[in-house]
Amino acid sequence: MPEKSSRLPGFYKLSLAERADVIAAWAGLTEDEKAVLTGQGLSNEQASHMIENVIGTFCMPLGIAVNFLINGRDYLIPMAVEEPSVVAAAGHAAKLFRAGGGLHTEASDPVMIGQIQVMDIPDMDAAIAAIEANKEKLMGIANECDPIMIRFGGGARDIVVRPLPDTAVGPMLIVHLHFDTRDAMGANAVNSAIETMAPTIAELTGGRTGLRILSNLADQRISKAWGIIPADQLDSHGIPGAKVARLIEEANAFALADPYRAATHNKGIMNGIDPVCLATGNDWRAIEAGAHAYAARNGRYTALTQWRVNEDGDLYGEITLPTAVGMVGGATKVHPTAKVAMKILGVQTAAELGQVMAAVGLAQNLAAIRALSTVGIQRGHMRLHARQVAIAAGATNNQVRLIADKMADAGQINMEYAAELLEELQ
Ligand code: MEV
Give the CATH number of the domain where residue 155 resides.
3.30.70.420
Bridge partners, 26 (sequence order): none
Give domain status of residue 136, yes or no: yes
Q: Does 150 share its domain with 244? A: no
Average pLDDT, integer, range 59-82:
97
Does 104 sit in the ligand 1 pocket, CB within 6 Å?
no
What is the predicted pLDDT for the residue at 179?
98
Which DSSP string do the residues of 16-56 spell out, in sequence order? HHHHHHHHHHHHT--HHHHHHHTT--S-HHHHHHHSSS---
pLDDT exceeding 90 applies to what percent of the chain? 90
- The answer to whether residues 159 and 251 belong to one domain is no
Alpha-carbon span 321 to 306, nearest angstrom: 12
Asked if 418 and 407 count as a contact pair (C-beta separation under 8 A), the reply is yes
Same domain, 319 and 359: yes
Q: Which residues contact 206 (CB under 8 A, 6 or more apart)?
A: 121, 122, 123, 126, 127
Task: Characterise 397 by phi-psi region: left (phi > 0), alpha (psi -120 to 50), beta (else).
Answer: left
Considering the chain, what is the average pLDDT of its residues?
95
How many angstroms separate the CA atoms of 387 and 311, rounded? 42
Query: Which atom of ligand 1 has the smallest separation from the CA of 365?
Result: 9
Q: Which of 375, 390, 413 is the endpoint of a domain?
A: 375
**For residue 187, is pLDDT > 80?**
yes
Residue 310 has pLDDT above 60, yes or no: yes
Is the CB–ligand 1 distance for residue 265 below 6 Å?
A: yes
345 and 244: one domain?
yes
Pair 100, 112: CB distance under 8 Å: no
Residue 398: what pLDDT?
86
Residue nearest to atom 1 of ligand 1 (CA): 268
Amino acid identity, position 334: V
Tell the residue nearest (CA) to atom 9 of ligand 1.
265
264-303 burial string, b = 16+ CB within 10 Å, else e?
Answer: ebbebbbbbbbbbbbbbbbbbebbbbbbbbbbeeeeebbb
Same domain, 249 and 364: yes
Question: What is residue 127's predicted lDDT score, i.e. its pLDDT?
Answer: 98
Mean pLDDT in residue range 262-276 = 98
236 and 357 fall within a common domain? yes
Q: Residue 408: inside a domain, yes or no?
A: yes
Among residues 283, 123, 160, the alpha carbon closest in space to that of 216 is found at 283
Tens digit of pLDDT for each residue in 137-171?
Answer: 999 999 998 899 999 999 999 999 999 999 999 99
Return d(Cα 111, Cα 157) in angstroms, integer: 8
Q: Of all helices (H) and strands (E), which one includes residue 118? A: strand 111-119
Residue 237's Cβ-count burial label (10 Å; 0-12, 13-18, 19+) is exposed
Listed in sequence order, the residues at least 6 apart from 111 whose beta carbon sits closer than 8 Å to its beta carbon are 157, 178, 179, 180, 181, 220, 221
The CB of 322 under 6 Å from ligand 1? The reply is: no
Domain end point (choices 164, 196, 215): 215
Q: Are 52 and 251 in contact (CB under 8 A)?
A: no
In a domain, 140, yes or no: yes
- Return the pLDDT at 374: 95
The verdict on 97 and 115 lying in the same domain is no
| End position of a domain, from candidates 375, 399, 415 | 375
Q: Work out the average pLDDT over 167-183.
A: 98
**Does residue 2 form part of some domain?**
no
Higher pLDDT, 131 or 377: 131
Residue 271 C-alpha to ligand 1 middle, in angstroms? 8
CA 274 to ligand 1 center in whole angstroms = 14
Q: What is the best residue among 252, 271, 366 to mutate for testing ligand 1's pocket, by most ligand atoms within 8 Å of CB?
A: 271
* pTM of structure: 0.93
Residue 5 domain flag:
no
**Is 263 close to ligand 1, i.e. is its CB under 6 Å away?**
no
Assigned domain for 285 exists: yes
Q: Name the H helices within 211-319.
A: 241-257, 259-279, 284-295
Q: Which atom of ligand 1 is nearest to the CA of 268?
A: 6
Using an 8 Å Cβ cutoff, are 218 and 347 in contact? no
* Residues 329 and 305: beta-carbon distance below 8 Å: no
- With a cut of 80, say whether residue 408 has pLDDT above it: yes
Confidence of residue 1 (pLDDT cuts 50, 70, 90): very low
Distance 121 CA to ligand 1 centre (A): 47
Residue 6, domain member (yes or no): no
Centre a 10 Å sphere on the Cβ of residue 323 and count the other Cβ atoms it contains. Answer: 31
Ligand 1 near 253 CB (within 6 A): no
Instruction: Determine the residue of 265, 307, 373 to mutate for testing ligand 1's pocket, defined as the one with the most ligand atoms within 8 A of the Cβ atom.
Output: 265
114 touches 220 (CB < 8 A): no
**Which ligand 1 atom is at minimum distance from the Cα of 83?**
2
Whole-number Å distance between alpha carbons of 77 and 86: 12
The model's pLDDT over 189-233, given as tens digits with 9 standing for 90+, comes to: 999 999 999 999 999 999 999 999 999 999 999 999 999 999 999
pLDDT reported for residue 370: 97
What confidence category does residue 378 fall into, taking pLDDT thresholds of 50, 70 and 90? confident
Same domain, 320 and 350: yes
Residues 331 and 401 in one domain: no
Assess whether 256 and 345 both reside in one domain.
Answer: yes
- Return the closest-CA partner of residue 148 out of 342, 361, 6, 328: 328
Same domain, 161 and 183: yes
For ligand 1, whether the C-beta of 271 sits within 6 Å is yes
Is the C-alpha dihedral spanning 117, 119, 124, 129 positive or negative? negative
Measure 305 CA to ligand 1 centroid, in angstroms. 14
- The one-letter code for the residue type at 86 is V
Supply the CATH number for residue 86's domain: 3.90.770.10
User: Per the domain annotation, does 3 fall within a domain?
Assistant: no
**Ligand 1 atom at minimal distance to the Cα of residue 86:** 2
Determine the structural domain holding residue 335 and report its residue range. 11-107+223-375
User: Which CATH number covers residue 405?
Assistant: 1.10.8
Tell me: pLDDT of 380 over 80.
no
Residues with Cβ within 8 Å of 371's Cβ and at least 6 positions away in sequence, in order, are: 89, 377, 379, 380
> Cα(202) to centroid of ligand 1, in Å?
47
Number of domains making up the chain: 3
Contact (Cβ atoms closer than 8 angstroms) between residue 279 and residue 337: yes
**How many alpha carbons fall within 13 Å on the CB side of residue 399?**
17
Nearest to 103 by CA among 304, 322, 316, 346: 316
Find the angle CA(259)-CA(260)-CA(266) to the nearest 5 degrees.
75
Segment 80-124, tens digit of pLDDT: 999 989 999 999 999 999 999 999 999 999 999 999 999 999 999
Q: Are residues 288 and 305 in the same domain?
A: yes
Catalytic residue numbers read 83, 267, 283, 381
Is there an atom of ligand 1 within 6 Å of 60 CB? no
- 3-state secondary structure at position 80: strand
